Amino acid sequence: MVKYLARRIFYLILTMFLIASVTFFLMKLMPGTPLNNQAKLTASQIHTIYQQYGLDKPLWQQYVTYIVNAVQGNFGTSFQFSNQAVSYLIGSRIGPSAIIGAQGMILGVILGICTGSLSAIRKNTWVDGTANIISILGLSIPSFVFAILLQYYFGLKLQLFPVAGWGGFASTILPTIALAASPFATTSRFVRTEMVDVMGSDYIELARAKGLSRFGIVFHHALRNSLIPLVTVIGPLAVGIMTGSMVVENIFSIPGIGEQFVKSILVNDYPTIMGVTLLYSGLLCLVLLITDIVYGIIDPRIRLSGKGE
Amino acid sequence: MDAEKNILEVQDLTINFHTYAGTVQAIRNVNFHLKKGETLAIVGESGSGKTVTTKTIMGLLANNAEVAKGTVKFHGKDILEMSEKELQAIRGRDIAEIFQDPMTSLDPTMRIGRQIAEPLMVHKGFSKSKAEKQALEMLKLVGITNAEERVNDYPHQFSGGMRQRIVIAIALVCYPEILIADEPTTALDVTIQAQILDLMKELQEKISTSIIFITHDLGVVASMADRVAVMYAGKIVEYGTVDEIFYNPQHPYTWGLLNSMPTLDTAKGQLEPIPGTPPDLLEPPVGDAFAARNPYAMKIDEEQEPPFFKVSDTHYAATWLLHPDAPAVEPPAEVVRRQKIYQERLSAGTINQGHIHSKGNTAFAGADDDDAIGE
């Protein structure tokens, strides 16, 4: 297990390095400069600013400097907010993102498990049909449309929740729901398929032959077996939440990382773009690693082969 | 027939399946009974309705199945009339089942001890620890070595034969009155098959359960069953004691089955299959369903269904060949050979304890009926 973990962490670092390198060069290919009013500045002024931020050096030198600093934990200072370190900027904004992201994920997955199992148990009934329609809507409606609809109806018309902004639990509800839509739909469809499969298996038939009640069968045998494979989609779901948060945070004006990321790209704030990209990819790699470990813990068949290594 | 001793009585059972293609008449007027402690084998090829019969007894028919007619009486009470709750109380406690494929019939994510303990917790209200203790005893009983250590293992850590032993332990843990074994050895290696069959016989004596043994393998039947019912196209076409079916078969389909079975005695180098395929049960044929594949078929076989003709008190066959007006036919050589053995053993008085039997055959009606056998 230790050997396995060490190998996985080595690959994680390698992946992060590759992502950092590719992003660095791609980012430099983007049109525009970090300067706000380039037209008004003289050539020497631009040169001074570039010198100040090290942007006058050859690309490879900038790259080496960045990587060397990043390895030491220094992700540079933001261009748009003078004298704010990127790590400080991210740190101050990660809270709201983490809260709505986690809430959205948990809400979506739990609701998805309930709906998915329910529609599998009541296969081909109106329950199943309704759940199906809801999941397909959840998958196909883009999150910005859904977020705006929520904002308009529940925020503006019914005035149940704050329209936008950040402050207190109430303000997290609409963004959470908007973020939860996609993981909910994915989980629901996934669990339904798995559970229908499991319910048709021989060991469920055997459980029925044992005289177990419907509830006992679902609870003790079907649920566990259909939820194990769900762990594999948690990774992709986390990606969905991260990308979704960029849009949702913008719509609800939440001072989170997603909102900051979009802004930074628009103004070519190179250090912030790099920092957030590394954060996102690091989180994703971590989620995938945890997923694999958890999968091994909850599925006895995999646990055994892990022991043999 | 002593009605008191029959723990299970199936009468006029007719089951249809509603499918997109139409109504499949899977079971047509099936009658049989099961006595305490005996083993009844139901033999037939795929699609003859064996499994549907067992699912009916378990009350586990698929949703698109419709019981058109008949009763399945367990201790005089009709299973088909029972509520789901009543059925749950019987399943696993009074009537248990062993499935065909041990590789898929155990929950892959549950420790086997817990899986064996489950019926005890459901039916006897045992606490988890008490049930698991008993499960351990059961595990020893079915011959799992190192049971104390292995009780906490998962199914994938066992071989196929071991898993089938575990499935048997699950089925027998509540000491059921009826054990339904649906092709329990089909998925196993031949060497393991014999072990599992021996185990089943051994346990049957220990906990005195009756067994309904479903199989397409006549070789297995010979060593297991007391009585045999041969099914074809959703009907029972012949039934009798194991000796009667093996050595004095009357129905051409039973002949075909025996003729296609390899034995050590047969000199033939090749097995003779039954030509053709079973009829489409969406529209079963009017007369004898086997007529189309039957080289001995007569005109009446295509027009009218044959009733059961009595061969002995325990032996009946539904074939027009047994009608007094039917012409005498020469059965296949293999069947003739068997019938000769039957006659010899009949006169020697050893028909009850055939050499293929390891233990006494209790179901045979007795020597008084011998005159009624044969024509």
Residue B187 confidence (pLDDT): 82
Its pTM stands at 0.79
Question: What is the residue whose two structure tokens read 């006169």?
Answer: B347
Q: Which residues of A touch B97 (CB under 8 A)?
A: 206, 209
Tell me how close the Cα of B222 comes to any Cα of chain A, in angstroms: 27
A95-146 pLDDT tens trace: 888 899 999 999 999 999 999 999 998 888 999 999 999 999 988 888 889 8
Tell me if chain B has a CB within 8 Å of the CB of A208.
Answer: yes
CB contact under 8 A, A225 and B109: yes
Chain B, nearest residue to A228 by Cα:
B109
Q: Name the residue among B342, B321, B234, B224 with its Cα closest to residue B285.
A: B234
Chain A interface test: which of B74, B82, B106, B118 (most A C-beta within 10 Å): B118
Alpha-carbon span B91 to A212, nearest angstrom: 8
Contact A210, B92 (CB under 8 A): yes
CB contact under 8 A, A211 and B99: no
Give the model's confidence band at B331: pLDDT under 50 very low, under 70 low, under 90 confident, else very high. confident
Task: Rounding to the nearest 10 degrees, give the CA dihedral for residues A24, A30, A36, A41.
Answer: 100
Region A249-256 average pLDDT: 88
A272-283 pLDDT tens trace: 888 888 888 888
Report the phi/psi class of residue B204: left, alpha or beta, with left for phi > 0 and alpha for psi in -120 to 50. alpha
Whether the pLDDT of residue A197 is over 60: the answer is yes
Alpha-carbon span B94 to B176, nearest angstrom: 4
Measuring CA to CA, how many Å separate A227 from each of A117, A186, B161, B343? 10, 13, 29, 63
Residue A83 confidence (pLDDT): 76
Residue B358 confidence (pLDDT): 34
Q: Where would I find the beta strands (DSSP E) of B125-243?
A: 178-182, 210-215, 227-232, 235-241
Chain B interface test: which of A124, A125, A197, A206 (most B C-beta within 10 Å): A206
Region A240-252 average pLDDT: 87
Whether the pLDDT of residue B40 is over 90: the answer is yes
CB contact under 8 A, A209 and B60: yes
Give the model's confidence band at B366: pLDDT under 50 very low, under 70 low, under 90 confident, else very high. very low
Which residues share a beta bridge with B96? Answer: B179
Hey, what are A104's tokens? 């959205």
Residue B11 confidence (pLDDT): 92
Residue B359 confidence (pLDDT): 35
Q: Which residues of B touch A205 (CB under 8 A)?
A: 60, 99, 105
Whether the pLDDT of residue A304 is over 60: the answer is no
Give the model's confidence band at B266: pLDDT under 50 very low, under 70 low, under 90 confident, else very high. low
Tell me if chain B has a CB within 8 Å of the CB of A202.
Answer: yes
DSSP assignment of B31-76, as one string?
A: EEEEETT-EEEEE--TTSSHHHHHHHHHT---TTEEEEEEEEEETT
User: What is the pLDDT of chain B when averaged over all its residues?
Assistant: 85
Whether the pLDDT of residue A219 is over 70: the answer is yes
Q: Which residues of B touch A209 (CB under 8 A)?
A: 58, 60, 91-92, 96-97, 99, 171
Domain boundaries, chain A: 13-71, 90-308
Share above pLDDT 70 across residues of chain A, in percent, rounded to a whole number: 98
Task: Point out the least confidently predicted range of A47-56, A87-96, A218-227.
Answer: A47-56
Report the phi/psi class of residue A50: left, alpha or beta, with left for phi > 0 and alpha for psi in -120 to 50. alpha
Whether the pLDDT of residue B180 is over 90: the answer is yes
At position B229, the amino acid (one-letter code) is A
Sheet with B235-241, side-by-side order of all strands: B95-98, B178-182, B210-215, B39-43, B227-232, B235-241, B315-317, B309-312
More confident residue, B372 or B124: B124
Alpha-carbon span B256 to B291, nearest angstrom: 12
DSSP assignment of chain A, as one string?
A: -HHHHHHHHHHHHHHHHHHHHHHHHHHHHSSS-S-S-GGGS-HHHHHHHHHHHTTTS-HHHHHHHHHHHHHTT---B-SSSTT-BHHHHHHHHHHHHHHHHHHHHHHHHHHHHHHHHHHHHTTTSHHHHHHHHHHHHHHHS-HHHHHHHHIIIIIIIS--S-SS---TTHHHHHHHHHHHHHHHHHHHHHHHHHHHHHHTSHHHHHHHHTT--HHHIIIIIIHHHHHGGGHHHHHHHHHHHHHHHHHHHHHTT--SHHHHHHHHHHTT-HHHHHHHHHHHHHHHHHHHHHHHHHHHHH-HHHHHHHHH-
Region B274-280 average pLDDT: 83
Contact A109, A187 (CB under 8 A): yes
Give the model's confidence band at A303: pLDDT under 50 very low, under 70 low, under 90 confident, else very high. low
Whether the pLDDT of residue A160 is over 50: the answer is yes
Residue B30 confidence (pLDDT): 92
Whether the pLDDT of residue B23 is over 70: the answer is yes
Global ipTM: 0.81
Region B299-315 average pLDDT: 88
Residue B111 confidence (pLDDT): 92
Query: Which chain B residues have any C-beta within 8 angstroms of a chain A C-beta?
Result: 58, 60, 88-93, 96-97, 99, 101, 104-110, 118-119, 122-123, 154, 156-157, 167, 170-171
Measuring CA to CA, how many Å separate A217 from each of A201, B294, B355? 12, 46, 46
CATH number of A90-308: 1.10.3720.10
Residue A111 confidence (pLDDT): 95
Alpha-carbon span B229 to B315, nearest angstrom: 10
Residue A255 confidence (pLDDT): 87
Alpha-carbon span A190 to B365, nearest angstrom: 59
Residue B360 confidence (pLDDT): 36
Q: Name the residue among A221, A143, A154, A122 with its Cα closest to residue A185.
A: A143
Tell me how close the Cα of A122 comes to any Cα of chain B, in angstroms: 12
B244-259 pLDDT tens trace: 999 999 999 999 888 8
A256-265 pLDDT tens trace: 888 888 888 8
Region B181-202 average pLDDT: 87
Helix axes A59-71 and A2-29, enclosed angle (nearest 10): 150
Tell me if chain B has a CB within 8 Å of the CB of A189.
Answer: no
A 228-287 near B (Cβ less than 8 A): 228
B50-96 pLDDT tens trace: 889 989 999 888 888 889 989 999 998 999 999 999 999 999 999 99
Which residues share a beta bridge with A200? Answer: none
At position B341, the amino acid (one-letter code) is I
Report the phi/psi class of residue A211: left, alpha or beta, with left for phi > 0 and alpha for psi in -120 to 50. left
Question: What is the residue whose two structure tokens read 């917790």?
Answer: B121
Q: Which residues of B touch A295 (CB under 8 A)?
A: none
Share above pLDDT 70 across residues of chain B, in percent, rounded to a whole number: 90
CB contact under 8 A, B123 and A224: no
Residue B153 confidence (pLDDT): 92
Number of H helices and number of E strands within chain B? 11, 12
Q: Which residues of A touch B92 (CB under 8 A)?
A: 209-212
Report the phi/psi class of residue B183: left, alpha or beta, with left for phi > 0 and alpha for psi in -120 to 50. left
- Residue ranges of alpha helices (H) inside B216-371 are 218-224, 242-247, 252-259, 333-348
Question: What is the residue whose two structure tokens read 């080496």?
Answer: A64
Q: Which residues contact B128 (CB under 8 A, 6 or more apart)?
A: B117, B121
Q: Which domains are assigned to chain B?
A: 3-224 (3.40.50.300), 227-372 (3.40.50.300)
How many beta-carbon contacts under 8 Å exist across A and B? 77
Partner-chain residue, chosen from B88, B99, B105, that has the shortest CB–CB distance to A213: B88
Which residues share a beta bridge with B98? Answer: B181
Region A230-238 average pLDDT: 86
Contact A244, A144 (CB under 8 A): no
Residue B1 confidence (pLDDT): 46
Share above pLDDT 90 across residues of chain B, in percent, rounded to a whole number: 40
Partner-chain residue, chosen from A203, A224, A225, that has the shortest CB–CB distance to B105: A203
Region A288-293 average pLDDT: 85
SS3 at position B215: strand
A159: number of Cβ within 10 Å: 9
Q: Which residues of A touch B104 (CB under 8 A)?
A: 201-203
Region B130-139 average pLDDT: 92
Residue A194 confidence (pLDDT): 93
Chain B, nearest residue to A223 by Cα:
B109
